Amino acid sequence: MIIIREQKNNNELYFKTEILEGNKLISINTIYYKSLIKKLNGTTYLMLYDTKMKPISEVFTFINYYKVNQSLNSKIKAQQALKLLYSFQSIINKELKNFNTTDINSLKLFLKGLSPKGQVMTFKLSSCRSNQTINGYLSIYRQYMEYMGVDNKALSKKSNKMSLLTIPDSEINFSVERYKSNEKIPRKPIEVPRYISVDEFRSILNETRKNYGKVEEIILRLMYQCGLRIGECLGLTADDLVVEKIGDIYVTMAYIRNRISDKNDQQAKTCMVVIDKKQYQSTDYKTEGYGYQKVIVPQDLFDLINNYIEEEHSNAREQKKDNYYSKTIADRVRSEKPYEDINYYVFLNTLGKPLLSHLWNQRVRAIFKAVGIPIDKNVREHNLNHRFRHGFAMFNIKYLGCKEIELMQRMRHSNLASVAFYFKPTVSDQIKIKTDFANSLYKVIPNLKSKE
């Protein structure tokens, strides 16, 4: 009998295999693949070492070069997925390219953290992963196989059935291919995700204006009024705030894009990933919808941002000079003549450095508590920020009657399938919809209502 036990060393997973004859322990073997993230000359590299502490060159090239245009978080996910794959390969002494359907199913159980008792091999695992995470890992394995120039039929075989996605109130359907090896994703509870309602935002705005400053109001309004993600807010620079002439009118705009100088929590999720400053001059980077996105900012909010910049940046340049000029300067990417000699991140902390997510999340949580908005337990704090973007979407749907294609454009999504996520009314929304429907029907057919 072989028993595989999951172990941890400073949050790094590894495995021990114990070989037993009856109740007698014959031998113990350690399977330890070590992951490492290293920054060198301004570039972040991800590495995976084998059980003899030799770097796995295929993994290094795949993550750092094959997936060069992926975000750091995506690369870290690939590193973790491949670490588990290599561990499992060592456990069963077989490479992925030779896995059969039974091996793929065993791999999925291993990834899930399930511990079935077998006749020859028994796993003792403590980690637990969702089906959605498993499917993400399987996708990475398919990409890795493609990069290696090999194929595994059990992993890449597609189902004859197509997943059909229909957008409500639309004649448009989407057919999505499915892999046989993928796990089914359970539907999320209808109350998830929560969004900030109009009344809630009114309370939040009152609390912010009473007990906080301009920076809190600006960021909250950018998320709720303009649909920005928190990373897009924190990554805004002076160069991104412009006034453009469209036809005969002048429109206040915010450009959303990525820079080499951005930190991880200043990234624009759906814009081009930049790894070299040369890309600033490329056609791709200068293409709207791919290299950058534009968002209309209401004039009063635009003016509030400029007032904040004049006050806070002038103060930081005088009182926090060292921090300001060493930490706040951002790459300049505009080709037009700049207003100032330097470009800088808009939002600052009290030390004169760029405001980052961990400090911002604390403020959001405090504001939620102050106005009595429930905070989900055991959920990462940045999800609270995303409720404002959901609020932006639901306001467009409920109050402005926005349809799918228009909402896709306002949300800056690349396809309609992504927009379907926002067409999920809460229970209270459903009650109102059904009540309004019933009342409308009674108006059209007055004798429908019972007289008893």
Does residue 183 sit within a domain?
no
Does residue 442 sit within a domain?
no
| 301 and 376 inside one domain | yes
Please state the domain count of the chain. Answer: 2
Question: Given 374, 392, 410, which residue is the final one in a domain?
Answer: 392
| 144 and 258 inside one domain | no
Among residues of the chain, what percentage have pLDDT more than 90? 50
| 278 and 219 inside one domain | yes
pLDDT digits (tens, 9 = 90+) for 243-293: 988 888 899 999 999 999 999 889 998 899 888 888 999 999 999 989 999
Top pLDDT among 407 and 426 is at: 407
pLDDT of residue 187: 59
| 358 and 288 inside one domain | yes
pLDDT digits (tens, 9 = 90+) for 24-57: 888 889 999 999 999 888 788 999 999 999 999 9
- Kindly report the CATH number assigned to the domain that includes residue 230: 1.10.443
| 141 and 213 inside one domain | no
Does residue 398 have a pLDDT over 60? yes
Taking a C-beta distance cutoff of 8 angstroms, is the pair 140, 131 a contact? no
Does residue 98 sit within a domain?
yes
| 242 and 128 inside one domain | no
pLDDT digits (tens, 9 = 90+) for 288-323: 989 999 998 999 999 999 999 999 999 999 999 999
Does residue 380 have a pLDDT over 60? no
Does residue 57 sit within a domain?
yes
| 84 and 218 inside one domain | no
Does residue 20 sit within a domain?
yes
pLDDT of residue 326: 94
Please give the residue range of the domain that contains residue 40: 2-156
Question: Given 95, 122, 156, which residue is the final one in a domain?
Answer: 156
Taking a C-beta distance cutoff of 8 angstroms, is the pair 411, 419 a contact? yes
Question: Given 340, 362, 392, which residue is the final one in a domain?
Answer: 392
| 237 and 138 inside one domain | no
Does residue 435 sit within a domain?
no
| 257 and 374 inside one domain | yes
